[in-house]
């Protein structure tokens, strides 16, 4: 339908189709988007679907019908990226507060109580670092192809207190638990391939 009764926004040839980045209108410092990004380690998005800020209640269902498929598809994009669990190699328990950082980007996410984590990523190649106090850090190269869907990527972190004699118990084939290895993880719909190589 018409977009705010503004003629140039109703032009079907308009490449933006009436969509505008809110920062082009005005900037807000210290809003919920900032708080969630910095402290909640997540994104908050405001979607304005109508030109009237407080529409009548009887109109709300129509807005839902107009936008529900686009909104559901948008929500489904949160499943793109990398997620999984981080375990303590010695105890097998989840590791809390592991930082998951991508390249030199400012956004850092943390693992939760049971070691679960989630990091949204667009298609591309990324260096992902897992780090936590009292554990040896790990870095993995993650390749997410176009139209890729996230698949579970679980890792095991070795604590600094790990006894040397226990290392002999791990087979060389268990490369996911060996420090000093870098993995290349290809994430695709229904397919995960791990390619590991030494990077000493």
Rg (CA), the chain: 22
Separation CA 86–CA 13 (nearest Å): 48
Separation CA 94–CA 157 (nearest Å): 10
67: exposed, middle or buried (C-beta count within 10 Å: 0-12, 13-18, 19+)? middle
CB atoms near residue 143 (< 10 Å): 16
Closest listed residue to residue 120, CA positions, set 138, 106, 102: 102
Instruction: Compute the Cα dihedral for 46, 28, 81, 83 and give only its sign.
Output: negative
Separation CA 160–CA 111 (nearest Å): 19
89 in active site: no
Instruction: Compute the Cα dihedral for 56, 57, 58, 61 and give only its sign.
Output: positive
22 φ, ψ (degrees, to nearest 5): -55, -30
Identified catalytic residue from 7, 27, 48, 89 = 48
Separation CA 8–CA 3 (nearest Å): 9
User: What are the catalytic residues?
Assistant: 48
């Amino acid at each position: 339908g018409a977009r705010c009764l503004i003629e140039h926004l109703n032009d079907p040839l308009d490449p933006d189709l009436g969509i505008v980045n809110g920062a082009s209108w005005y900037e807000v410092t210290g809003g919920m988007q900032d708080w969630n990004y910095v402290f909640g380690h997540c994104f908050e998005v405001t979607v304005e679907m109508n030109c009237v800020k407080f529409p009548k209640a009887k109109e709300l269902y129509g807005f839902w019908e107009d936008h529900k498929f686009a909104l559901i598809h948008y929500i489904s994009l949160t499943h793109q990226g990398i997620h999984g669990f981080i375990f303590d190699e010695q105890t097998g328990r989840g590791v809390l507060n592991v930082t998951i950082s991508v390249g030199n980007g400012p956004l850092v996410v943390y693992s939760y109580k049971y070691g679960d984590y989630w990091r949204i990523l667009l298609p591309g190649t990324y260096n992902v670092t897992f780090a936590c106090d009292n554990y040896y850090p790990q870095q993995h190269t993650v390749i997410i192809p176009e139209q890729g869907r996230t698949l579970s990527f679980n890792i095991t972190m070795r604590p600094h207190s790990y006894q040397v004699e226990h290392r002999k118990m791990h087979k060389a084939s268990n490369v996911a638990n060996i420090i000093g290895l870098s993995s290349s993880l290809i994430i695709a719909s229904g397919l995960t391939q791990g390619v590991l190589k030494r990077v000493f």
